A and B are shown apart, each in its own frame.
Chain A
Amino acid sequence: MDRRQFLKQISLWSLGLTLDVPRINIVSEALAMEVQSQPLAVAKGGDYTALVARVLESLGGMKQFVRPSDKVVIKPNIGWDRNPGQAANTHPLVVKALVEHALDAGAAKVNVFDRTCNEERRCYVNSGIKQALAGIKDKRLKHFHPDNRKYIPVDIARGKAVNRLEIYKDALEADSYINVPVAKHHSLSRLTMGIKNSMGVLGGDRGQMHHNLGQKLADLATVVRPKLTVIDATRILLRNGPQGGSLQDVKVLDTLIASADPVAADAYTTTLFDLQPQEIDSTVAAFKFGLGEIDLAKVKIIHA
C-alpha cells in the first residue's frame, strides 16, 4: 500500500474533488514482513510521569516513534464523564507526559482528541485531561473535540466484517499515531485496550460496530495503525466497564505497557486481568491479519 497515494486520496476527497472513497488495501503478507518482532516495555511505579519516561527510554526513546516535524496524533480514551480515579479514561498524567515527549522529539503538531460516549465537554473536563493539557503552553499542541466535517469514508479492502468506515482525518494523516488507551473491563469484548480504543476516531454510527465487534475492530486496525501503543494500567477497571463509577471495581496496578506492536501490547495487558490473550476476539483477529504477535513467549519483554 502506497501511503502517499492514500493520503492524496484523502485530501482529494475532503476537498470535494473526487467522489472516489479513499481505499486502504494492505496485504497481510506485507504486514507480516513489516511488523517484525517488536519489544514490549512494562514499568511499575507510583510516579506516572516517570513511568512514561521509563517505558519510552527502554524502547529507544520517543525519537523512535516521532521524527522531527512529524504530525502526531495522541489518542487517549476520554470516552466517559468519569474522574481519573474511576479508571474509565486514560490517566491525565500519562497523556500529558506523552505529549511532552512528542513535543520534545520535535513534532510539528501534536493533536489530542477522542470521540466521546458521554457529553464531550464533560468527558474532557472530568477526565482531567483538558486541565492537564492546558498546562502545556506550546502552540504545536492542540486538544479539541472532533469536527464533524472531518470524518472521511475509507474503503477497507481486506475488511472481513466491515468494508467501509468513517475515520477522522487527523488520524489518517498523522505521521505518527500514538494510541494511549486505558485497560478496563468491557462486557461485550471482555476487555477494552489498544485495538478497541481506535473506535474513538470513528465517525458515523458506532453502535453497528458491536455486532461482531472483535473482527470489526481488527478490520479498523488495518487502517488506523499506531506507531506506538501505550496502555495505561495504572489503575484498571475490573467490573461494570467500560465506564465503571464505583471505586470498588477499580484496582490500582501502577503499571504502564508500551510497544510498537499493538497486538502484543493488548495481549500482555490481558494477562493483568488473569485472562489469556486468545480469549479476546479483537486480539485474535488482529493477529490473524498479521498486525502483531499474540504469543507473548515470542515477544521480548523489557521490565523498565
Chain B
Amino acid sequence: MKKRKFPLNYWRRLSQIVSFILFLFLFIKTDYSGSDSIDYAVNILFRIDPLLALCAFLAAGTIITLMLPAIVTLVVTFILGRFFCGWLCPMGTLLDGCHRLVPQNNKEYGTNFRPFKYYLLVFLLMGALFGLPVAGYFDPFSILVRGLALSMYPALNSLSTDFFTFTYQQAPGWVNAITEPVYAFLKYSILPFHQKYFDLAIFSFVILLIIILFERMERRFFCRNICPLGGLLAITATKPLLRGHGGSKCDKCKNCRDICRMGAIDEERQISPLDCNLCLDCVDHCPTNKITFRFGKPLGYKPVFSLSRRSFLSAIAAGVTLPFVMKTRVIAKRPDPFLIRPPGALPEDDFLGRCVRCGECMKVCIGNALQPTFLKAGLAGMFSPVLKARLGYCEYNCTLCGQVCPTGAISELEVNKKRIVKIGHAWFDKNRCLPFAKGIPCIVCEEHCPTPDKAIKFRLAEVINSKGEKVTVKQPYVVDKLCIGCGICETKCPVPGQAAIRVTSAGESRNPSNRLPNTGVTIY
C-alpha cells in the first residue's frame, strides 16, 4: 500500500483548526474595542447558517438580507456535500477534539436515531412558520456560542482572576515578576474586559456538556442524529457534485466502516452523501486505496433517509399545532412587565421569530445588562435577551447589540435614534427610596440619569427622618417623556437588595399598547 506523504485528512484537520481559531477570534472580538462600531463581521457564523436563515425567513415572512450569506453554505453543500460539517463547523471540531476525552461505550455500528434530525428539522420549520420559533434551542452554533459566552468565557475569567489574585496577594515578589506580566498579557489578548455574570450559565454549559458526552455513544452523535442544520445540509447533499465512492470490489476489511466518524458507510461500503462529512479518513485508511471522491461520477445507488411517514407527519403536526396552544398562555394576554428587550428590538412576536438565541447581544453588552431569560417570554422565548436593570444597565451611547444581531431581531440603530428609543420606564418605590422612606439624602439615580435633560428630577421636601429630626431632602421623580428605561438608576441605586427604583417594560417604543398613562390627548 502506498502511503501519502501528506494524508488528505491533514488538510481537513488544518481547515478545522484554522476555522475554529477564527471562530474563537471573532468570539473574543465580539466586544467594545474603543470604537463605537465593531470592525469585524463577528456574527458571520450565524449569517452563513441556512437553518437559522430559513427559520428566520419563515417567521418574519420575508427575506432578511443580513442572512443571505447562508446561501453560500447551501451552494457549497450542493457541490461538496456535507463538507461544512467536517471541515468548518466549530461544533464539529469541538466534538472531534473532545472525542478522545470521552471514550466510546460500544463498538456497534451506529444507533437508530438518525432520522430524528429530519423530524426535528421539520418541526422547527413548521414552528417558525406558525409561531413557535425555537430553532435556536438546537442550532449547533447557538448552543456553542451560548455555552461559551454565558458560562465558559466568564468562568475562564473568574478562574484567572482568582489565580492571579492569589499570586498577587500571597506569592513572593519574584513569582509576581512572572505572573503579573502574564496576567496583563492574558487580559490584553484573550480574557474579557469585565467579569460577567449570567442567568442560565450552568444550564447553557450543561447543554454543551451533554452534547460532548453524547460522544460516548458514538462519534459525532449530535451531528449524526440531532443537529437540524446537519439535517438541512444532508437534504441539500442528496446528490452532491462531489461524491464518495467506496470499495465495492475491495478486500472487505471494513476499516472504513470502523473509522467513519459519521457512520456514513454501510455494509456494502457505499458512502452515503447524507451522512458523509468528507473527513477523508477512509481514503487515507483504505489499505488498497479503493476509496475515491470524484466529481460527476454517478453514485450508483440511491441514498435513503429511512424516515417513517408516521413520525414525519407527527413532526409536522406538532410544529403546526403547538404554536396555537402557545396562544392560550397567560403571557399571550399580558406579557411579563419585566420583559425589557434591548433597544431596537422588534415588536415581541417579530422579535422572538427572528431571535436565534445566539447569545451575541449578551456577549457584546458592555453593561452585562442583557441576560438570557428562562420562562419570562414563555417556553418559546428561552435564552432570548432581556435587560436586568439591577445587574447592569443599557449604556447611553452604545449600539453594539443591534450591530451584532445576525437576524435584525434587534435592529441596528444610529446612536442618535438609540438614545431616544424607550425600552421601558423607571418607577420609584417610595417605601424604599431613602429620601422618602427615611429622610436620608441620596439621589444617586438622578446623578446617573444619562439623558441631557435628566429624566429623573427632584423636589425639595421637608420630612421627619428616622431620628425624629425635621430635615430637608431632595426627593426624586421620573419625567415620563424623558425616561428611556436604560436602567442605570436601578443598577446604581444604593439601597441594598431590591432597588428603590425599578424599570419595567411600560411605555416601550416597540409596543404602543404598553403606553404610559397620559392626561393629555392620546395620539395614535
| Minimum Cβ distance to chain B for residue A117 (Å) | 6
Asked if B367 is at the interface of the complex by the 8 Å CB criterion, the answer is: yes
Interchain CB contact under 8 A, B398 and A122: yes
- Pick the interface stretch among A22-30, A218-226, A236-244: A236-244
At the interface, yes or no: B155 with Cβ under 8 Å from chain A? no
Question: Measured between alpha carbons, how far is A207 from B447 in the docked complex, in Å?
Answer: 11
Tell whether B458 is near chain A: CB-to-CB under 8 Å: yes
- Which of B32, B164, B492 is A121 in contact with, Cβ under 8 Å? B32
Stretch at the interface among B331-339, B420-428, B434-442: B434-442
* Distance to closest chain A CB from B112 (angstroms): 52
Contacts of B161 in A (CB 8 A): 148
Q: Are A122 and B447 CB-contacts (below 8 A) given A208-B494, A211-B440, A213-B441? A: no
1/0 per residue, CB under 8 A from A, across B379-399: the answer is 000000000000000011110
Closest CB of chain B to A114's CB: distance in Å?
A: 16
State which of B51-59, B76-84, B449-457 sits at the interface with chain A: B449-457
A210 touches B441 (CB 8 A): yes
Q: How far is the CA of A16 from the CA of B434 in the complex (A)?
A: 37
Name the interface residues of B443-476: CB closer than 8 Å to any CB of A: 443-444, 446-448, 450-454, 458, 474
Taking the nearest CB of chain B, how far is it from the CB of A161, in angstroms? 12
Q: Name which of B398, B434, B440, B454 has the most chain A CB atoms within 10 A of its CB.
A: B454
Size band of the interface chain B makes with A: 35 or more
CB contact between B494 and one of A120, A186, A207 (< 8 Å): that residue: A207
B444 touches A207 (CB 8 A): yes
* B34 touching A187, Cβ below 8 Å: no
CA distance A15 to B443 in the complex (A): 37
Residues of the A chain whose Cβ atoms lie less than 8 Å from the Cβ of B451: 245
**How many residues does chain A have at the interface if contact means C-beta atoms less than 8 Å apart?**
32
- CB pair B440–A188 under 8 Å, yes or no, is no
Question: Chain B interface secondary structure, helix, strand, loop or mixed?
Answer: loop
B441 touches A240 (CB 8 A): no
Instruction: State in angstroms the CA–CA spacing of A171 and B398 once bound together.
Output: 31
Segment at the A interface, from B9-17, B165-173, B507-515: B165-173
Which residues of chain B have C-beta atoms less than 8 A from A244's C-beta? 452
Docked-complex contact A187 and B458, CB < 8 angstroms:
yes
Q: Is A14 an interface residue (CB 8 A)?
A: yes
Let me know if A210 and B442 touch, CB within 8 A: yes
Task: Determine if B395 and A118 form an interchain contact, defined as CB atoms under 8 angstroms apart.
Answer: yes
Once the chains are docked, how many angstroms separate the CA of A125 from the CA of B442? 29
Q: Please tell me if B493 contacts chain A, counting CB pairs below 8 Å.
A: yes
User: Is A240 touching B454 in the complex (CB atoms < 8 A)?
Assistant: yes
Q: Give 8 nearest A-B pairs by CB, closest first.
A: A207-B494, A245-B452, A246-B452, A16-B169, A119-B366, A211-B440, A207-B444, A149-B165
Additional 20 contacts, C-beta under 8 A, given A188-B441, A249-B452 = A81-B396, A119-B366, A121-B32, A121-B193, A125-B35, A148-B161, A187-B443, A187-B446, A188-B443, A188-B447, A188-B474, A207-B444, A210-B443, A210-B494, A213-B441, A242-B447, A243-B447, A243-B448, A244-B452, A246-B453
